[in-house]
Amino acid sequence: MSPTADKSRMVSPNFITEIIDEDLRAGRYSQIVTRFPPEPNGYAHLGHAIASYLNYGIAHDYGGVFRLRMDDTNPQTERQEYADALIQDLRWLGGGGSTMRPLEGWEWGEVEYASDYFDELYAMAIRLVEKGLAYVDSVSPKEMAWLRGTVDRPGTPSLYRGRSIAENLELFQRMKVGEFPTGAHVLRAKIDLASPNMKLRDPVLYRILHATHYRTGNRWCIYPSYDFAQAPTDALISVTHSLCSLEFVDNRAVYDWLMDNLWEGQGTPRPHQYEFGRRSLEYTVVSKRKLLKLIGGGYVSGWDDPRMPTLAGQRRRGVTPQALRTFAGSVGISRTNRTVDIALLEHAIRDDLNTTAPRVMAVIRPLKVVLTNLTTEQILHLRYWPEDVVRESPDGLVSLPGGKRVRPEEATRPVPLTREIYIEAEDFEVTPPKGFKRFTPGGTVRLRGAGILHCDSFSTNEAGEVCELHCTLLGHEGKAAGVIHWVSATQGLRAEFRLYDRLFRVPLPEAEAKELEDDEGETAEDKDFLSFFNPNSLEVAHGFIEPSVADDSLDTRYQFERLGYFWPDLVDCKPGAPVFNRIVTLRDSWAKETRSEGKSRAEIRALKEQSKPGLEVVLSPEQQARLEAFKLQGIGESDALVLARDEKLSVYLTEAAKHGNLASLASWIVNDLGSSIREGTVKVSPAGLAELIKLLESGEISTRIAKDVLTEAQEVGQNPADIVSQKGLRQMSDTSAIAPIVERIVAANPDKVAAYQNGKTGLLGFFVGQVMRETGGQANPQLVQELIVRKLSS
RNA sequence: UGGGGCAUCGUCUAAUGGCAGGACAACGGUCUUUGGAACCGUCGGUCGUGGUUCGAGUCCACGUGCCCCAGCCA
């Protein structure tokens, strides 16, 4: 990814590792602990893979600890079966699978379960009640929703919000022992019903649920909510950096509130929540509801259908864990939700398989060829690996189908060459298109490993389709434009091939479904993402494969030459009736057409960007008057407008102007102190600012110095002018001092000088920057620039 | 509609006021007993408009667009 990326790191530097670096530097934590908290209510998919990779990778990169925790606080939807599958899938993802790479297996201690901490959680809830920070509410769900208000109407307290601590304690205890039916009461945090953040309007901490939990059975009938499960369990298992996706940003306020009120004075540092953007993949969907629809509607065969974005599906298809890890690492991490190009996944898969999958031959759509001059059957010994893979092998060895590493000359298999063989039907064209490099009537082509083939004649069936070729096999010598693969018709094995393609016909099925709703007033039920299902996502073909594979271990991934990467379908493969799944095709640079019919993201964006004209800012009469006054005093239009609209800013300016020139102070107030003045966090006094600007105007310091000093003053709360004198900051303005530095920098970078003189004027910034750095920011930048320009153009 | 988050090549991601870089894709070439792989090259981007600055993707203002929040789901 980034050029500075360290190969031993799993995760490229990102905004979260920056925070960790700073935390470590400040000594806030001695060891990094991350966790991945899936809910056992469905199967792991690519989204889980990316998130768990991130969490595991960060712990790995910092020598920390990674914990897998089942987030099992909802007995109604969670099952042991899902928990087991999740654990199995994640172990597989972290392991070597059947690849031959060194293992990089993910390790975690015991799998954690939120349900193992129900006692601790309950005790913490009691503490909150005792502190008067939580209460039992007894309104119906409907009423609670009503009382919570809406985004633009504050909530109102329920009748029960004022219950005494004793009463709350008693009721909560009775909730726990099962005196009330499901839904009769809830425990809520007492935070702020008027908060503009809806999550802070007294979130529910516990609810009554008479249901059997797959781990705790009937021991509990009250269960913690998401918010109450996260922060406390994170803290209990010593998590330091709790990563989650962006939709939980608002919940961070609850997380922090809980930590403030539950974890102070604990002696151990508290965890913090950070959010990252989700990654989705083109041509697929991952939401549980939608995957269920695909299964329920018979579009796919189940959770492990090889077209599914589930780890179970990808595993059955033959995708390696290594490929998925490479993919997760290359996708990266940011604070924006993104949809990743499916080519990135396919590239990761091919890249892994290219060096791990031995080559054999199979024919998917057979066309019979009679080699009229072949009198005796032959056994050819063909190599499993092409020269380039052999050459680039780190240990000089290559793999046999079982995985055993041998010298390249030993990596061969016997391939029978018989009088009748099959070739791929599409490798023969009676009327070849322009650029066709394969087989044609009267043409020649190379039969992989067998020699040059000449086509003498062909016959057709009643439908006019080519059904048989009569050919002469020439020697190995000679040239042919193309090379085609083949299988003995008499000794090849019959096999079924399952050719998978993208699940949907369009890259963004959900976005397109939404478009339909908007445009045609159709609801999601009428015509949703399913209408974009790709009916050709599975094509079953029956053909032949060379007999050598019969002896190979069942979990061997092959490259079928010129066709793609395949491996047996472990579920449907039967002795004598092999079934192969196509993992991914080979890249085809002779692409016939682009198959994508959907709109690109850019197109969708463009459609929506029929921008409305921006509204003119409306000013009140007072603001208008102030604006005019400011303009008259020499403040630029843009700054004047900002000042006129903001009371706090104009008050600050008026005050500062008592000590200095109003017009020159204005832009500093707007551009450099604006947000801190508005927030009320400004630490630089108006007089202090004025004093600093005087130094600037006298030429004693440069704008650059003034900005740096102002930033520092704002950080530490010191008077700017004092910083200037303390540090002895002074603008360097004499040519005799700067010129030698310029000379040196220019002399040290002849290549950049040449590039600059060739028109890359952006490099001026580079040179100025170098000089500024050398002088500790004290050189007069105008002068520096002037000297450089003069120097470089001479 | 109140609050919050976000915006860099077609896609993903770097650049922490100083050279807009990388990967994937696409395109072209070299090589090739896989129209594969490898290698070389080309194309292509800071959402918009103003402002501050010697210098803005980065700071300020105003717009635009997308996403999240009104479950006793997570």
Q: What's the DSSP call for residue A11? A: S
| pLDDT at residue number A2 | 36
A129, A139 in Cβ contact below 8 A? no
Q: Which residue is it, tokens 């530490």?
A: A716
| pLDDT at residue number A732 | 87
Q: Where are the domains of chain A?
A: 15-110+278-352, 114-276, 358-502+537-585, 621-727, 735-793
CA–C1' A179–B20 (A): 66
The pair phi, psi for residue A184, each rounded to 5°, is: -70, -40
Pairwise CA distance, residues A694 & A717, whole Å = 19
Q: Which residue is it, tokens 């042991």?
A: A80
Nucleotide nearest A76, from its CA to each C1' = B73
CA–C1' A605–B64 (A): 12
- Give the DSSP per-residue string, A649-670: HHHHHHHHHTSS-HHHHHHHHH
CA–C1' A611–B48 (A): 10
CA–C1' A240–B33 (A): 57
User: Given this structure, which CATH class describes domain A358-502+537-585?
Assistant: mainly beta
**Closest residue to B51 (CA, C1′):** A638
Nearest alpha carbon to residue A257 among A192, A160, A162, A335 = A192
Helices (H), A78-136: 80-94, 118-130
Parallel, antiparallel, or unpaired for β A579-585 and A564-568? antiparallel
CA–C1' A339–B47 (A): 18
Helices (H), A700-734: 703-716, 720-727
Kindly provide the b/e burial profile for residues A605-641, where b requires at least 16 CB atoms within 10 angstroms of the residue's own CB. eeeeeeeeeeeeeeeeeebeebbeebeeeebeeebbb
User: A667 vs A301, A636, A649, A662, A671, CA distance in Å?
Assistant: 66, 8, 11, 9, 6
A410 token code pair: 């030993």
**Closest residue to B55 (CA, C1′):** A765
A154 token code pair: 């504050």
Tell me the sheet residues that pair with A186. Answer: A137, A207
Nearest alpha carbon to residue A113 among A54, A39, A51 = A39
**What are the residue numbers of the active site of A?**
39, 278, 288
| pLDDT at residue number A241 | 98
Q: How many CB atoms lie within 10 A of CB A137?
A: 23
CATH of domain A735-793: 1.10.10.410
CA atoms lying within 13 Å on the CB side of residue A652? 31
Q: What's the DSSP call for residue A301? A: S
Nucleotide nearest A451, from its CA to each C1' = B33
A511 token code pair: 């976005």
**Long-range contacts of range A172-181, CB-CB < 8 Å, 24 or more positions apart?**
A172/A125, A172/A126, A172/A129, A172/A136, A172/A206, A175/A136, A175/A206, A175/A208, A175/A221, A175/A222, A176/A122, A176/A220, A176/A221, A176/A222, A178/A210, A178/A221, A180/A208, A181/A208, A181/A210
The pair phi, psi for residue A27, each rounded to 5°, is: 70, 25
Domain A15-110+278-352 has CATH 3.40.190.170: no
CA–C1' A249–B4 (A): 7
Nearest alpha carbon to residue A476 among A498, A502, A517, A444 = A444
A56, A106 in Cβ contact below 8 A? yes
**Closest residue to B6 (CA, C1′):** A336
| pLDDT at residue number A617 | 65
Nucleotide nearest A772, from its CA to each C1' = B18
Low-confidence ranges of chain A (pLDDT < 50): 1-5, 97-103, 525-526, 593-596, 610-615
| pLDDT at residue number A98 | 37
Nucleotide nearest A389, from its CA to each C1' = B37
| pLDDT at residue number A115 | 98
| pLDDT at residue number A610 | 46
Nearest alpha carbon to residue A11 among A50, A69, A47 = A50
Nucleotide nearest A184, from its CA to each C1' = B72
Is A358-502+537-585's fold the same as A735-793's? no
- CATH classification of A114-276, choosing from 3.30.70.20, 3.90.800.10, 3.20.20.70, 3.40.190.10? 3.90.800.10
Pairwise CA distance, residues A159 & A183, whole Å = 17
| pLDDT at residue number A666 | 94
**How does pLDDT run across A437-488, given as a tens digit for each residue?**
999 999 999 999 999 999 999 999 999 999 999 999 999 988 899 999 999 9
| pLDDT at residue number A613 | 44
Bases of chain B within 7 A of a CB of the protein:
1-8, 10-27, 33-38, 48, 50-56, 59-74
Average of per-residue pLDDT values in chain A: 91
